[in-house]
Amino acid sequence: MNIASPITLAAVAVMAPLATFLIIGLIAPLRRSGKPAAWVGILGATTSTVAAALLVVDGRSDILIADWLGAGGKFFASIGFQVDGISASMLLVVSLVAWCVQVFSLGYMSDETPAGLGRYYTWHSLFLFSMNGLVMSPNALQLFLCWELVGLASYLLIGFYFRKPSAGRAAVKAFWITKLADIGLGAGLVALYVLTAKASPDGLGSFDWSPQVAQAIGTGGATVVAGLFFVAVMGKSAQFPLHIWLPDAMEGPTPVSALLHAATMVAAGVYLVVRAYPLFQAAPDVLLFMTYLGAWTAIFAAVIATVQTDIKKVLAYSTCSQLGYMVSGLGAGSLFGGYFHLFTHAGFKALLFLGAGALIHAVHSNELTDMGGLWRKMKLSGTAFILGALALAGVPGLAGFFSKDTILEALHASGQTVPWLMLLLAAGLTAFYMTRVVALALFGKPGHHTEHAHEAPASMLIPVLLLAVTAVGAGYMGGPLAKMVGAEYAFHWSMTGIIATSLGLLGIAAGWAIYGARIVTAEQLAVFAPIGNFIRASAVDRSAAWVYRNAMLGLGSGIAWFDRYVVDGVMNLTAWLAMSGGQQLRTFQSGRAGDYVYAVLVGVVLLVAAGLWNA
């Protein structure tokens, strides 16, 4: 196929959402009209998706780099598009999920005012532009810019219901925590530039992440840069202990959670690691840290997910947990494993969120207990949701099974036994909590909320069913995807796979036994109540708040004290000296004209005397 050059397609995919953002954003009457603005946004997403699909089919790699930020005839930064297997496939994932979410939002956001709907699609277009720009970045600097834009879009969309105080707080919390982590990316960029400048003969640094750069800066340099980059990854991809913003981000509209806080934006951190992998490979210490931290996040978040009563919170913690898988897999040296899981997870997690959105839309509540028995009312969305849950639980044949298996085998092969066991346990827990959600929401006792529930409209069903196809099929894309990434992949059963599958099936059985068949009574279950309460007490959130209150506010009040008494003190002293000096001097001023004439006369006499003296 030779429709257009890869660079043209990439430019179209990135610029179409920018165009729609500007059109909706700047033409106020269009924005306030609601539905037409939504269609413009969807048109942009469609263009991006088609361009990305053509790019994947085309299969060629290319790179366009334009000089940028010049000084004295030299350019120390560049900007452009890098088209290769990784960026093309990621572009397709992002654009496709964005398309699904934007179409889904037509139905889900139908109660919104026209002006609100226009604002919603403006921010969606901004997000898609930033995310596509991030994906196509040829270097770390452009990625950083788009990374921050993505963060801004996330803030705006989490706080979409800004009249609700909790949504405003959640938006600010997400923004500040990711910004705190982004200091790492900024510092990493500076370190990368300084180190490459030191290593290069002409003294010019670069923001590239190529193997040559990794070689030039050595293991020590790569450890610094990759370590700093990883701090930002922890923030964006919600790794322990910076994951605390993600559950709160569920205050945003559900489709936003599906797009940003499950499928694409939070995967940006993982994507950064994938892109800068040569640097990470040169830093074994960072990789080891990633392996352990990812595994810990995976099991930690999975445990919390088992006790959540809000369907979106369960999925949010599940996202943390799955991102932990990706990070751990990348840490264990499996670039493909981490990326493959990102790829499949984007599909089935977006499906789960949109499915959850359909359920929430039907009962107007996020609580699992308010749903119950929705299966009979919503056969299609229900089936899709169950497919997503099974894919996440790692049932053989569905998407999550293959990618999770790749990561687990990579950990097994790298000899990291402890993280491997943690991830296996997390796999069992994943199956357990997803079964719990399905059992409670779809098959539980119907509440009064479910009486008026009805199947979702077509605009919501089409994206959900499309994503259901990916949840089933994405796992079989492993071979082609591996070829695009430059790795080998062929599925085969192994010890690890058998253990993980058995644990997953055990988790499903246990979840169904407790929440579906109710073999265990509520009284017997109450034995675990203290543990549940402990988990629900959200110790990490509290300690983060404590650190904020004591360390950050303490530091802040210290600086305020310094400002008030030292900086202001110097100012006040100067003012006081001038004042008191003036007080002393004013006694000379008699105000009588004669006295001044005397002074002039004395001055003249003195000047004349001085002139005579010197002559």
Partner 1 sequence: MPTSAYLLLGAALFCMGVFGVLTRRNAIGVLIGVELMTNAVNLNLIALSRANGHLTGQAFALFSLALTVAEVIVGLAIVLLLYRSHRSVLTDSAVEMKG
Lookup result for tokens 């790795």:
487
Nearest distance, CB of residue 602 and partner 1, angstroms: 11
Nearest distance, CB of residue 173 and partner 1, angstroms: 59
Lookup result for tokens 């997503």:
388
Distance CA 354, CA 346 (A): 12
Distance CA 299, CA 505 (A): 17
How many CB atoms lie under 10 A from the CB of residue 544?
18
Nearest distance, CB of residue 186 and partner 1, angstroms: 57
- CB-nearer residue toward partner 1: 162 or 596: 596
Q: How many residues does the chain have?
A: 615
39 within 8 A of 26, measured Cβ to Cβ:
no
- CB-nearer residue toward partner 1: 476 or 596: 596
Nearest distance, CB of residue 587 and partner 1, angstroms: 6
Nearest distance, CB of residue 576 and partner 1, angstroms: 19
| 384 to 423: interface string for partner 1, x by CB under 8 A | ----------------------------------------
Nearest distance, CB of residue 612 and partner 1, angstroms: 16
- CB-nearer residue toward partner 1: 201 or 611: 611
**Three-state secondary structure string covering 449-485:** HHHHCCCCCHHHHHHHHHHHHHHHHHHHHHHHHHHHH
Give me the half-sphere count of Cα atoms (radius 13 Å) on the Cβ side of residue 6. Answer: 21
- CB-nearer residue toward partner 1: 502 or 590: 590
The angle that helices 114-135 and 140-158 make with each other, rounded to 10 degrees, is 160
List residues bridging with 67 in a β-sheet.
Answer: 78
Q: Which residues, numbered 531-590, are part of the site for partner 1 (CB under 8 A)?
A: 585-590
- CB-nearer residue toward partner 1: 201 or 594: 594
Nearest distance, CB of residue 595 and partner 1, angstroms: 10
- CB-nearer residue toward partner 1: 113 or 580: 580
Considering the rule CB under 8 A, would residue 73 count as an interface residue with partner 1? no
Task: Give the number of residues in contact with partner 1, rule: CB under 8 A.
Answer: 13
Strands (E), 214-351: none
Nearest to 199 by CA among 182, 216, 214, 211: 216
- CB-nearer residue toward partner 1: 550 or 590: 590
- CB-nearer residue toward partner 1: 3 or 608: 608
Nearest distance, CB of residue 581 and partner 1, angstroms: 13
Q: 387-405 burial by CB neighbour count: b if 16+ within 10 A, else e?
A: bbbbbbbbbbebbbbbbbb
Q: Is 487 exposed, middle or buried (0-12, 13-18, 19+ CB in 10 A)?
A: middle
Q: Which residues, numbered 590-609, are part of the site for partner 1 (CB under 8 A)?
A: 590-594, 597-598, 601
* Residues binding partner 1 (CB under 8 A): 585-594, 597-598, 601
